[in-house]
Amino acid sequence: MKASAFDYARATSVANALELLTAHGERARVLAGGQSLLPAMNLRLIAPELIIDIGELDELRGVAARGGVLTIGALTRHADLQKSPEIAVHAPLLMDAVAHVAHPAIRNRGTIGGSLAQADPASELPACMLALGATIIARGPGGERRIAADEFFAGIYETALTPQELLVAVELPAQPKDSMHYFQEFSRRHGDYAIVGLAAQALVRDGRFADLRLGFFAVGDRPLLARSAGKLLDVAVTPAVLSEVSSALDEELSSLGDQQATPAMRRHLARVLLTRCVSSLLARTDLCAG
Ligand code: FAD
Protein backbone atom coordinates (compact mmCIF):
# COMPACT_ATOMS: atom_id res chain seq x y z
CA MET A 1 0.00 0.00 0.00
CA LYS A 2 0.97 3.63 -0.37
CA ALA A 3 0.68 6.42 2.15
CA SER A 4 -2.10 9.00 1.89
CA ALA A 5 -1.04 12.30 0.33
CA PHE A 6 0.98 14.51 2.67
CA ASP A 7 3.00 17.72 2.64
CA TYR A 8 6.70 17.63 3.36
CA ALA A 9 8.94 20.16 5.10
CA ARG A 10 12.66 19.79 5.74
CA ALA A 11 13.51 21.48 9.03
CA THR A 12 16.55 23.76 8.72
CA SER A 13 17.15 24.08 12.47
CA VAL A 14 15.67 22.88 15.76
CA ALA A 15 13.96 26.29 16.07
CA ASN A 16 12.44 25.83 12.60
CA ALA A 17 11.23 22.29 13.48
CA LEU A 18 9.61 23.70 16.64
CA GLU A 19 7.91 26.50 14.66
CA LEU A 20 6.45 23.93 12.28
CA LEU A 21 5.34 21.69 15.16
CA THR A 22 3.74 24.64 16.97
CA ALA A 23 1.87 25.66 13.82
CA HIS A 24 0.69 22.17 12.80
CA GLY A 25 0.64 20.17 16.07
CA GLU A 26 -1.43 16.99 15.83
CA ARG A 27 -1.67 17.22 12.03
CA ALA A 28 2.09 16.81 11.68
CA ARG A 29 4.62 14.06 12.38
CA VAL A 30 8.36 14.29 12.81
CA LEU A 31 10.41 12.11 10.44
CA ALA A 32 13.71 10.85 11.93
CA GLY A 33 14.95 7.53 10.50
CA GLY A 34 11.50 6.67 9.13
CA GLN A 35 11.79 2.99 10.09
CA SER A 36 8.57 2.99 12.10
CA LEU A 37 6.81 6.09 10.72
CA LEU A 38 6.96 5.20 7.02
CA PRO A 39 5.68 1.60 7.36
CA ALA A 40 2.81 2.90 9.55
CA MET A 41 1.96 5.51 6.90
CA ASN A 42 2.20 3.01 4.05
CA LEU A 43 -0.14 0.67 5.92
CA ARG A 44 -2.42 3.71 6.46
CA LEU A 45 -2.39 3.17 10.21
CA ILE A 46 -1.66 6.91 10.42
CA ALA A 47 -2.15 9.68 7.87
CA PRO A 48 -0.35 12.87 8.92
CA GLU A 49 -0.97 15.92 6.74
CA LEU A 50 2.59 17.18 7.14
CA ILE A 51 5.90 15.39 7.58
CA ILE A 52 8.62 17.44 9.29
CA ASP A 53 11.95 15.90 8.30
CA ILE A 54 14.58 16.52 11.01
CA GLY A 55 17.16 14.24 9.35
CA GLU A 56 19.59 17.06 8.54
CA LEU A 57 19.75 18.57 12.02
CA ASP A 58 23.28 17.47 12.86
CA GLU A 59 23.10 19.29 16.20
CA LEU A 60 20.78 16.46 17.35
CA ARG A 61 23.33 13.76 16.51
CA GLY A 62 26.17 12.34 18.59
CA VAL A 63 27.25 10.97 21.96
CA ALA A 64 29.18 12.99 24.57
CA ALA A 65 30.43 12.07 28.05
CA ARG A 66 30.89 15.09 30.33
CA GLY A 67 30.83 15.60 34.09
CA GLY A 68 29.55 12.12 34.85
CA VAL A 69 26.67 12.35 32.35
CA LEU A 70 26.37 10.67 28.98
CA THR A 71 24.31 12.75 26.54
CA ILE A 72 22.95 11.09 23.40
CA GLY A 73 21.40 13.26 20.69
CA ALA A 74 17.95 12.17 19.52
CA LEU A 75 19.10 11.65 15.92
CA THR A 76 21.93 9.31 16.88
CA ARG A 77 21.39 6.17 14.83
CA HIS A 78 21.32 2.68 16.31
CA ALA A 79 24.41 1.80 14.22
CA ASP A 80 26.28 4.82 15.68
CA LEU A 81 25.44 3.67 19.22
CA GLN A 82 27.02 0.31 18.36
CA LYS A 83 30.25 2.03 17.25
CA SER A 84 30.47 4.62 20.03
CA PRO A 85 33.44 4.25 22.44
CA GLU A 86 31.51 6.36 25.00
CA ILE A 87 28.58 3.92 24.93
CA ALA A 88 30.97 0.96 25.23
CA VAL A 89 32.53 2.45 28.37
CA HIS A 90 29.62 4.22 30.08
CA ALA A 91 26.51 2.32 28.94
CA PRO A 92 27.48 -1.20 27.79
CA LEU A 93 23.88 -2.29 28.51
CA LEU A 94 22.78 -0.13 25.58
CA MET A 95 25.49 -1.63 23.39
CA ASP A 96 24.21 -5.16 24.10
CA ALA A 97 20.58 -4.12 23.60
CA VAL A 98 21.02 -2.33 20.26
CA ALA A 99 22.39 -5.50 18.70
CA HIS A 100 18.88 -6.96 19.17
CA VAL A 101 17.08 -4.04 17.46
CA ALA A 102 15.97 -5.25 14.04
CA HIS A 103 18.69 -5.75 11.39
CA PRO A 104 21.73 -3.77 10.12
CA ALA A 105 19.77 -1.97 7.36
CA ILE A 106 17.23 -0.71 9.89
CA ARG A 107 19.89 0.14 12.48
CA ASN A 108 21.64 2.26 9.82
CA ARG A 109 18.58 4.55 9.60
CA GLY A 110 16.66 4.18 12.88
CA THR A 111 17.46 6.62 15.70
CA ILE A 112 17.34 6.47 19.48
CA GLY A 113 14.93 9.43 19.56
CA GLY A 114 12.61 7.71 17.08
CA SER A 115 12.67 4.49 19.07
CA LEU A 116 11.79 6.27 22.34
CA ALA A 117 9.13 8.52 20.75
CA GLN A 118 7.59 5.49 19.03
CA ALA A 119 7.26 3.80 22.48
CA ASP A 120 6.63 0.30 21.18
CA PRO A 121 6.23 -1.79 24.37
CA ALA A 122 8.30 -4.57 22.76
CA SER A 123 11.25 -2.27 21.97
CA GLU A 124 14.61 -2.78 23.61
CA LEU A 125 15.78 0.81 24.11
CA PRO A 126 12.86 2.13 26.24
CA ALA A 127 13.48 -0.63 28.82
CA CYS A 128 17.20 0.25 28.84
CA MET A 129 16.25 3.85 29.64
CA LEU A 130 14.39 2.62 32.75
CA ALA A 131 17.27 0.40 33.86
CA LEU A 132 19.82 3.19 33.33
CA GLY A 133 17.75 5.88 35.09
CA ALA A 134 17.68 8.07 31.96
CA THR A 135 16.25 11.55 31.59
CA ILE A 136 14.52 12.38 28.31
CA ILE A 137 14.96 15.97 27.13
CA ALA A 138 12.15 17.53 25.11
CA ARG A 139 11.87 21.00 23.60
CA GLY A 140 8.59 22.71 22.79
CA PRO A 141 6.93 26.11 22.62
CA GLY A 142 7.32 26.47 26.42
CA GLY A 143 11.07 25.72 26.36
CA GLU A 144 12.92 22.63 27.54
CA ARG A 145 11.44 19.85 29.67
CA ARG A 146 13.32 17.08 31.43
CA ILE A 147 11.29 13.91 31.89
CA ALA A 148 12.39 10.92 33.98
CA ALA A 149 12.29 7.76 31.86
CA ASP A 150 9.84 6.06 34.22
CA GLU A 151 7.36 8.91 33.63
CA PHE A 152 7.94 9.12 29.87
CA PHE A 153 6.28 5.95 28.57
CA ALA A 154 2.52 6.29 28.89
CA GLY A 155 1.06 3.32 26.97
CA ILE A 156 1.22 1.54 23.61
CA TYR A 157 2.87 4.09 21.25
CA GLU A 158 2.15 6.81 23.83
CA THR A 159 4.61 9.05 25.63
CA ALA A 160 4.63 12.17 27.78
CA LEU A 161 5.59 14.24 24.69
CA THR A 162 2.97 16.71 23.49
CA PRO A 163 2.33 16.99 19.71
CA GLN A 164 4.28 20.31 19.73
CA GLU A 165 7.39 18.85 21.37
CA LEU A 166 10.58 17.48 19.87
CA LEU A 167 12.65 14.89 21.69
CA VAL A 168 16.15 16.39 21.47
CA ALA A 169 18.37 14.20 23.65
CA VAL A 170 18.70 11.58 26.35
CA GLU A 171 20.91 11.87 29.42
CA LEU A 172 22.27 8.85 31.24
CA PRO A 173 23.87 9.23 34.68
CA ALA A 174 27.34 7.72 35.07
CA GLN A 175 27.13 4.22 36.52
CA PRO A 176 29.50 3.29 39.37
CA LYS A 177 32.66 1.56 38.08
CA ASP A 178 31.68 -1.79 39.63
CA SER A 179 28.15 -1.61 38.22
CA MET A 180 27.10 -4.59 36.06
CA HIS A 181 24.45 -5.15 33.43
CA TYR A 182 22.41 -7.97 31.92
CA PHE A 183 20.42 -8.03 28.71
CA GLN A 184 18.42 -10.89 27.25
CA GLU A 185 15.26 -11.34 25.23
CA PHE A 186 13.14 -14.14 23.86
CA SER A 187 12.14 -13.63 20.24
CA ARG A 188 11.21 -15.97 17.40
CA ARG A 189 14.27 -14.94 15.37
CA HIS A 190 17.20 -12.63 16.09
CA GLY A 191 16.12 -9.11 15.10
CA ASP A 192 12.40 -9.69 15.68
CA TYR A 193 10.59 -7.67 18.31
CA ALA A 194 10.83 -9.47 21.66
CA ILE A 195 8.20 -11.80 23.08
CA VAL A 196 9.61 -10.86 26.51
CA GLY A 197 12.89 -9.14 27.36
CA LEU A 198 14.89 -7.84 30.30
CA ALA A 199 17.43 -5.00 30.52
CA ALA A 200 19.03 -4.79 33.96
CA GLN A 201 21.62 -2.62 35.66
CA ALA A 202 22.97 -3.77 39.02
CA LEU A 203 25.29 -2.95 41.85
CA VAL A 204 26.39 -5.93 43.94
CA ARG A 205 28.07 -5.32 47.31
CA ASP A 206 29.08 -8.12 49.69
CA GLY A 207 27.18 -10.70 47.67
CA ARG A 208 23.90 -8.69 47.79
CA PHE A 209 22.18 -6.45 45.30
CA ALA A 210 22.66 -2.93 46.70
CA ASP A 211 20.80 -1.63 43.64
CA LEU A 212 19.03 -3.68 40.99
CA ARG A 213 17.04 -1.96 38.24
CA LEU A 214 15.02 -4.50 36.24
CA GLY A 215 13.58 -3.06 33.02
CA PHE A 216 11.20 -5.58 31.44
CA PHE A 217 9.80 -5.11 27.94
CA ALA A 218 7.02 -6.76 25.92
CA VAL A 219 5.22 -7.54 29.18
CA GLY A 220 2.42 -4.96 29.03
CA ASP A 221 1.41 -1.71 27.39
CA ARG A 222 4.77 -0.05 28.23
CA PRO A 223 8.22 -1.02 29.54
CA LEU A 224 8.16 -1.81 33.23
CA LEU A 225 10.66 -1.09 36.00
CA ALA A 226 10.04 -3.99 38.42
CA ARG A 227 10.69 -2.02 41.60
CA SER A 228 9.38 -4.50 44.20
CA ALA A 229 11.27 -7.43 42.69
CA GLY A 230 14.46 -5.35 42.56
CA LYS A 231 14.14 -4.26 46.21
CA LEU A 232 13.34 -7.76 47.51
CA LEU A 233 16.67 -8.95 46.15
CA ASP A 234 18.66 -6.70 48.53
CA VAL A 235 19.40 -9.77 50.70
CA ALA A 236 21.52 -12.92 50.43
CA VAL A 237 19.81 -14.68 47.52
CA THR A 238 18.54 -18.18 48.26
CA PRO A 239 16.08 -20.35 46.28
CA ALA A 240 13.35 -19.27 48.77
CA VAL A 241 14.12 -15.59 48.14
CA LEU A 242 14.02 -16.13 44.38
CA SER A 243 10.64 -17.83 44.66
CA GLU A 244 9.30 -14.89 46.71
CA VAL A 245 10.70 -12.42 44.16
CA SER A 246 9.12 -14.35 41.28
CA SER A 247 5.72 -14.01 42.98
CA ALA A 248 6.31 -10.28 43.48
CA LEU A 249 7.22 -10.00 39.81
CA ASP A 250 3.96 -11.73 38.80
CA GLU A 251 2.05 -9.05 40.70
CA GLU A 252 3.99 -6.21 39.09
CA LEU A 253 3.55 -7.44 35.50
CA SER A 254 0.34 -6.75 33.60
CA SER A 255 1.11 -9.07 30.70
CA LEU A 256 -0.90 -8.78 27.52
CA GLY A 257 -1.80 -11.72 25.31
CA ASP A 258 -1.34 -11.61 21.54
CA GLN A 259 -0.50 -13.94 18.66
CA GLN A 260 3.05 -14.39 20.04
CA ALA A 261 2.24 -15.46 23.61
CA THR A 262 -0.48 -15.73 26.23
CA PRO A 263 -0.23 -13.60 29.40
CA ALA A 264 0.68 -16.74 31.40
CA MET A 265 3.48 -17.60 28.97
CA ARG A 266 4.82 -14.03 29.21
CA ARG A 267 4.82 -14.15 33.01
CA HIS A 268 6.64 -17.50 32.90
CA LEU A 269 9.28 -16.17 30.49
CA ALA A 270 9.74 -13.05 32.64
CA ARG A 271 10.42 -15.26 35.67
CA VAL A 272 12.93 -17.30 33.63
CA LEU A 273 14.73 -14.11 32.62
CA LEU A 274 14.76 -12.86 36.20
CA THR A 275 16.33 -16.11 37.46
CA ARG A 276 18.92 -16.12 34.68
CA CYS A 277 19.74 -12.47 35.30
CA VAL A 278 20.26 -12.95 39.06
CA SER A 279 22.39 -16.10 38.56
CA SER A 280 24.50 -14.46 35.88
CA LEU A 281 25.17 -11.28 37.87
CA LEU A 282 25.98 -13.13 41.11
CA ALA A 283 28.25 -15.58 39.28
CA ARG A 284 30.17 -12.65 37.83
CA THR A 285 30.71 -11.11 41.28
CA ASP A 286 31.99 -14.43 42.59
CA LEU A 287 34.44 -14.56 39.69
CA CYS A 288 35.51 -10.95 40.30
CA ALA A 289 36.02 -11.61 44.03
CA GLY A 290 38.10 -14.71 43.22
P1 FAD B 1 10.75 7.29 12.82
O2 FAD B 1 10.19 6.10 12.14
O3 FAD B 1 11.23 8.40 11.96
O4 FAD B 1 9.69 7.87 13.86
C5 FAD B 1 8.99 7.02 14.75
C6 FAD B 1 7.99 7.88 15.55
O7 FAD B 1 8.67 8.74 16.44
C8 FAD B 1 7.12 8.81 14.69
O9 FAD B 1 5.87 8.96 15.29
C10 FAD B 1 7.89 10.12 14.72
O11 FAD B 1 7.06 11.25 14.48
C12 FAD B 1 8.42 10.11 16.14
N13 FAD B 1 9.70 10.79 16.30
C14 FAD B 1 10.88 10.43 15.74
N15 FAD B 1 11.87 11.22 16.19
C16 FAD B 1 11.31 12.11 17.03
C17 FAD B 1 11.82 13.17 17.81
N18 FAD B 1 13.13 13.47 17.84
N19 FAD B 1 10.96 13.88 18.57
C20 FAD B 1 9.63 13.60 18.57
N21 FAD B 1 9.09 12.58 17.86
C22 FAD B 1 9.92 11.84 17.10
N23 FAD B 1 12.57 -1.52 16.89
C24 FAD B 1 12.92 -2.14 18.03
O25 FAD B 1 13.05 -1.45 19.04
N26 FAD B 1 13.18 -3.48 18.09
C27 FAD B 1 13.06 -4.28 16.99
O28 FAD B 1 13.32 -5.48 17.09
C29 FAD B 1 12.64 -3.68 15.75
N30 FAD B 1 12.49 -4.42 14.64
C31 FAD B 1 12.08 -3.79 13.49
C32 FAD B 1 11.91 -4.58 12.35
C33 FAD B 1 11.52 -3.98 11.17
C34 FAD B 1 11.32 -4.85 9.94
C35 FAD B 1 11.31 -2.56 11.10
C36 FAD B 1 10.91 -1.88 9.82
C37 FAD B 1 11.49 -1.78 12.22
C38 FAD B 1 11.87 -2.38 13.43
N39 FAD B 1 12.05 -1.63 14.58
C40 FAD B 1 12.42 -2.26 15.74
C41 FAD B 1 11.83 -0.15 14.59
C42 FAD B 1 13.13 0.59 14.34
O43 FAD B 1 14.04 0.34 15.38
C44 FAD B 1 12.94 2.12 14.28
O45 FAD B 1 14.17 2.60 13.88
C46 FAD B 1 12.57 2.88 15.51
O47 FAD B 1 11.45 2.38 16.15
C48 FAD B 1 12.17 4.32 15.17
O49 FAD B 1 13.28 5.10 14.87
P50 FAD B 1 13.25 6.05 13.62
O51 FAD B 1 14.36 7.01 13.79
O52 FAD B 1 13.23 5.26 12.38
O53 FAD B 1 11.88 6.86 13.85
Ligand 1 center to 269 CA (angstroms): 26
Best residue among 8, 14, 30 to mutate for probing ligand 1's pocket (most ligand atoms within 8 Å of CB) is 30
Kindly report the protein residue whose alpha carbon is nearest to atom 30 of ligand 1.
102
Cα separation of 219 and 187, whole Å?
A: 13
Percent of the chain at pLDDT > 70 equals 98
Burial string for 1-32 (b: 16+ CB within 10 Å, else e) reads eebeeeeebebeebeebbebbeebeeebbbbb
* 8 Å CB contact between 135 and 111: no
Q: Which residues line ligand 1 (CB under 6 A)?
A: 29-37, 39, 74, 101-102, 106, 109-111, 113-115, 117-118, 120, 123-125, 161, 166-167, 192-193
Ligand 1 center to 290 CA (angstroms): 43
Instruction: Look at residue 287 in the predicted model and tell me its pLDDT.
Output: 54
User: What is the DSSP secondary structure assignment for residue 49, as one 8-state letter?
Assistant: S
Instruction: Look at residue 286 in the predicted model and tell me its pLDDT.
Output: 66
- Intervals of the chain under pLDDT 50: 290
Residue in 146, 61, 156, 152 with CA at minimum distance from that of residue 112:
61
What domains does the chain contain, in order, with CATH numbers?
7-53 (3.30.43.10), 61-172 (3.30.465.10), 180-289 (3.30.390.50)
Instruction: Look at residue 290 in the predicted model and tell me its pLDDT.
Output: 43
What ipTM score was computed for the predicted complex, to two decimals?
A: 0.98
User: What is the DSSP secondary structure assignment for residue 34, as one 8-state letter?
Assistant: -
Ligand 1 center to 37 CA (angstroms): 7
Ligand 1 center to 235 CA (angstroms): 39
pLDDT digits (tens, 9 = 90+) for 37-64: 999 999 999 999 999 999 999 999 999 9
Residue 29 alpha carbon, nearest atom of ligand 1: 11
